[in-house]
Amino acid sequence: MLHLFDTAAGKVIPFEPRQPGRVSMYVCGPTVYGPPHLGHGRFSLVFDVLRRYLLWSGLEVDYVSNITDIDDKIINRANTEGRDWSDIAEKCESVWWRAMDAIGVMRPTSDPHATDYVEQMVELIADLITRDVAYVSDDGVYFSPSVVSDYGLLARQTIESMQAGARVEVADHKHSPIDFALWKFVKPGEPSWPSPWGEGRPGWHTECVVMSLDLLGDGFDLHGGGQDLAFPHHENERAQAVAAGRTFARHWMHNGFVEVGGEKMAKSLGNFTNLLDLVESTDPRAYRLLVLRSHYRSPVEVTRASTDDAAAALRRLDSFARRVASAQLPSAMPDPTALAEFVRAMDSDLDTPAAVAQLFGLVTEVNSALDSGDTATAAALAAVVAEICAAVGLVLDAGGSEIPAEVLERAAARDTARAARDFAASDAIRDALIAEGWIVEDTATGTQVRPA
């Protein structure tokens, strides 16, 4: 059974879905005001791996991930650039999906937009006011988390200890520094929606409450996102849901940061690398492998060196895939022992580093079996490799890409020369092909050529 670290519990606990055989997960998506960076890529990959693993395990997965398409940052950028806020949101969203597609992240089963849920948010806010846990101030409607007895659960701190060193300004329009805005009254030039308290727009923390409960229902299984969302974002979502008498997420999962030179990568710090830029300069699969090689709760350093390293490791896997493909192994059931080892690793809080280590170990074993002609062993273990790759979303390149006929002819000419032991001629052909950017390898079936 899958065990996951639960942020609320502070430890690894069994992951038991609300409904056997079906998992409902909500992963906080992006605010679309700029290009996605490596950090967005990591959380997307982490939860994509979890989703794929659950699917691979035979479960159905309802995967909801939102698009925050109305927010201060979008409005600010619109004002700065003299554009319409919705234009920015739309363009950035399309870039987002392009990046997700590029790194092989499955599309959510549902991708709700904040602007489509404003009415429901207003309903929730009205309910919270009725329950006397929210109040109308001069610039908006605020929520008082202090009414939630276990507020601070996800921050793993009490309200008191958080206030002890509070760097939060006690603004006039708030009763308490920890209060947060549910609704912000409209200012000139801003988009707005109607509400019983006046024209305005929703605060950030409300949308996820409404959308997750609407699409997944009370007590949905898992709520996830980056570590920085645990507090205050998720804490505040949870507080609203609890205050409204709803049952919120059963399990909380947060991934560690992408770092650059030991520092968190973030748009706000200005040290981010655009995800699409990475994908252009590196095989996108290398990023997935890099993410898989470190545990999801640990930080991962993403630099030119680390992506190059992952790309080199990936070449070994691709080379393996080509060899297995050309070996034309008999179909075989995956070796049950090896498969169980993989499941054990993944069930242990998604121990993908162990799974990757096992993957490379299997590659060596299959290569050895192939060297010694033990095709039965090779086939059974190669089948496990295929299973692991499928479960974590790693697609190996077994070649088969179109090689120009002219190049294939020269490869055949090289084989002819070699058969005649005319090595001067065969090496000349090889050197020429290499100079033109091809990788030339001898195999049992003759010269193999592929792009470098």
Partner RNA sequence: GGCGUCGUGGCCGAGUGGCUUAGGCAGGGGCCUGCAAAGCCCCCCACGUGAGUUCGAUUCUCACCGACGCCUCCA
**Which residues inside 141-200 make contact with RNA, applying CB under 7 A?**
155-157, 161-162, 164-168, 177-178, 180
* Binding status of residue 287 toward RNA by CB under 7 A: no
Asked if residue 383 lies in contact with residue 310, where contact means CB atoms within 8 angstroms, the answer is no
* Binding status of residue 88 toward RNA by CB under 7 A: no
Closer residue to RNA in complex, CB, 62/235 = 235
Closer residue to RNA in complex, CB, 215/356 = 356
Piece of the chain touching RNA by CB under 7 A; list 92-100, 289-297, 336-344, 389-397: 289-297
* Binding status of residue 406 toward RNA by CB under 7 A: no
Closer residue to RNA in complex, CB, 124/366 = 366
- Partner residues linked to 25 by β-bridges: 63, 222
List 139, 228, 347, 387, residue binding RNA (CB under 7 A): 228
Piece of the chain touching RNA by CB under 7 A; list 90-98, 130-138, 280-288, 362-370: 362-370
Contact residues for 212 (Cβ-Cβ < 8 A; gap 6+): 26, 64, 220, 223, 237, 248, 249
Sketch the per residue contact string, 46 through 85, with RNA: x for CB under 7 A, - otherwise.
Answer: ---------------------------x------------
* Binding status of residue 96 toward RNA by CB under 7 A: no
Asked if residue 359 lies in contact with residue 382, where contact means CB atoms within 8 angstroms, the answer is no
Closer residue to RNA in complex, CB, 79/130 = 79
Q: What amino acid occupies position 195?
A: S
* Binding status of residue 31 toward RNA by CB under 7 A: yes
Residue 89 DSSP SS3 = helix
Pairing mode of beta strands 300-301, 258-260: parallel
Question: From residue 173, how far is each of 28, 179, 200, 295, 352 by CA, in Å?
Answer: 28, 10, 16, 43, 47
Residues 134 and 126: their CA atoms lie apart, in Å, by 9
Residues 386 and 358: their CA atoms lie apart, in Å, by 13
List 409, 427, 432, 446, residue binding RNA (CB under 7 A): 427
Give the number of residues in contact with RNA, rule: CB under 7 A. Answer: 86
By CB under 7 A, what part of segment 111-140 binds RNA?
A: none
Asked if residue 322 lies in contact with residue 439, where contact means CB atoms within 8 angstroms, the answer is no
Piece of the chain touching RNA by CB under 7 A; list 299-307, 335-343, 390-398, 400-408: 299-307
Question: From residue 228, how far is each of 50, 155, 323, 338, 403 by CA, in Å?
Answer: 19, 10, 43, 36, 47
* Binding status of residue 325 toward RNA by CB under 7 A: no
* Binding status of residue 300 toward RNA by CB under 7 A: yes
Piece of the chain touching RNA by CB under 7 A; list 1-9, 241-249, 319-327, 385-393: 319-327
The secondary structure element, H or E, covering residue 88 is helix 85-102
- The residue assigned the tokens 């990475």 is 278
